[in-house]
Homo-oligomer: A and B are copies of this chain.
Amino acid sequence: MPATTTPTQARKVSEVDQWHMETEVAIVGFGGAGGCAAIQVADSGGKAIIFEVASASGGSTAMSSAEIYMGGSGGTRVQRACGFEDTTEAMFTYMMMSAGPQADEDKIRGYCENSTAHFEWLCELGVPFKDSFHESRAIMCLTDDGLLYTGSEKAWPFAEHAAPAARGHNLYVEGDNGGPLFMKIVTENVEQRPAITVEYEVRALTLICDDNNEVVGLVVRKDQQELNVRATKGVILCAGGFVMNDEMLRKHAPKLTRGNQAIGNPGDTGAGIQMGMSAGGAAINMHEGFISLPYYPPASITGGILVNDKGQRIINEDVYHARLGNAILKDEGERFYFIVTVEQYGDYEKMNFMAAEVCGTGETVAELEAELQLPGGSLQHTVSFYNDNVAHGSDPMFHKASEWLQTLEVPLVALDVTPGRGSFWPYFTLGGLDTLPSGEVVREDRSVIPGLYAAGRTACGVVRRAEGYSSGMSVGDATYSGRLAGKAAAAR
Ranked 8 nearest A-B pairs via Cβ = A101-B254, A375-B396, A310-B397, A8-B445, A287-B287, A330-B330, A8-B443, A8-B444
Which residues of A55-87 have CB atoms within 8 Å of chain B's CB atoms? none
Expressed in whole angstroms, the Cα–Cα distance for A385 and B443 within the complex equals 54
Say which residue of B213, B247, B278, B330 sits within 8 Å of A9 (CB atoms).
Answer: B213
The interface residues of chain B lying within 8 Å CB-to-CB of A315 are 332
Say which residue of B378, B434, B447 sits within 8 Å of A385 (CB atoms).
Answer: B378
Contact B251 A284 (CB under 8 A): yes
Contact B385 A381 (CB under 8 A): yes
* Residue A286 is within 8 A (CB to CB) of chain B in the complex: yes
Which residues of A279-296 have CB atoms within 8 Å of chain B's CB atoms? 280, 282, 284-288
Contact A280 B282 (CB under 8 A): no
* Residue A277 is within 8 A (CB to CB) of chain B in the complex: yes
The interface residues of chain B lying within 8 Å CB-to-CB of A312 are 312, 397
Known: A286-B286, A385-B377. A101 touches B274 (CB 8 A): no
What is the predominant secondary structure among interface residues of chain A facing chain B? Answer: loop
Task: Give the most central of A101, A248, A274, A378: most B CB within 10 Å.
Answer: A101
Which residues of A362-413 have CB atoms within 8 Å of chain B's CB atoms? 375-378, 381, 385, 388-389, 396-398
* Residue A314 is within 8 A (CB to CB) of chain B in the complex: yes
Contact A274 B445 (CB under 8 A): yes
Which residues of A222-248 have CB atoms within 8 Å of chain B's CB atoms? 247-248
Task: Give the most central of A7, A255, A310: most B CB within 10 Å.
Answer: A310
Expressed in whole angstroms, the Cα–Cα distance for A288 and B443 within the complex equals 20
Known: A213-B9, A282-B277, A287-B287. A102 touches B254 (CB 8 A): yes
The interface residues of chain B lying within 8 Å CB-to-CB of A247 are 446
Count of A residues near B, CB < 8 Å? Answer: 54
Cβ of A241 to closest chain B Cβ, rounded Å: 14
Say which residue of B8, B255, B282, B330 sits within 8 Å of A447 (CB atoms).
Answer: B8
* Copies of this chain present: 2
Cβ of A9 to closest chain B Cβ, rounded Å: 6
Chain A positions near chain B (C-beta within 8 angstroms)? 4, 6-9, 12, 100-102, 211, 213, 247-248, 251-252, 254-255, 257, 274, 277-278, 280, 282, 284-288, 310, 312-315, 327, 330-332, 375-378, 381, 385, 388-389, 396-398, 434, 443-447
The interface residues of chain B lying within 8 Å CB-to-CB of A285 are 287
Expressed in whole angstroms, the Cα–Cα distance for A288 and B251 within the complex equals 13
> Could you jot down 25 A-B contacts, CB within 8 Å?
A4-B445, A6-B445, A8-B443, A8-B445, A9-B213, A9-B280, A9-B443, A12-B211, A101-B254, A102-B254, A251-B434, A252-B284, A274-B444, A274-B445, A278-B280, A284-B286, A286-B286, A286-B287, A287-B288, A312-B312, A314-B332, A315-B332, A327-B332, A330-B331, A375-B396
The interface residues of chain B lying within 8 Å CB-to-CB of A313 are 310
Expressed in whole angstroms, the Cα–Cα distance for A9 and B448 within the complex equals 12
Say which residue of B102, B257, B377, B396 sits within 8 Å of A376 (CB atoms).
Answer: B396
The interface residues of chain B lying within 8 Å CB-to-CB of A381 are 381, 385
Contact B397 A8 (CB under 8 A): no
Expressed in whole angstroms, the Cα–Cα distance for A42 and B8 within the complex equals 34
Expressed in whole angstroms, the Cα–Cα distance for A312 and B385 within the complex equals 13
Expressed in whole angstroms, the Cα–Cα distance for A397 and B376 within the complex equals 10
Cβ of A178 to closest chain B Cβ, rounded Å: 32
Expressed in whole angstroms, the Cα–Cα distance for A264 and B39 within the complex equals 50
Expressed in whole angstroms, the Cα–Cα distance for A261 and B255 within the complex equals 28
Expressed in whole angstroms, the Cα–Cα distance for A327 and B385 within the complex equals 24
The interface residues of chain B lying within 8 Å CB-to-CB of A332 are 314-315, 327
Closest to A330 in B: B330
The interface residues of chain B lying within 8 Å CB-to-CB of A251 are 284, 434
Contact B101 A398 (CB under 8 A): no
The interface residues of chain B lying within 8 Å CB-to-CB of A331 are 330
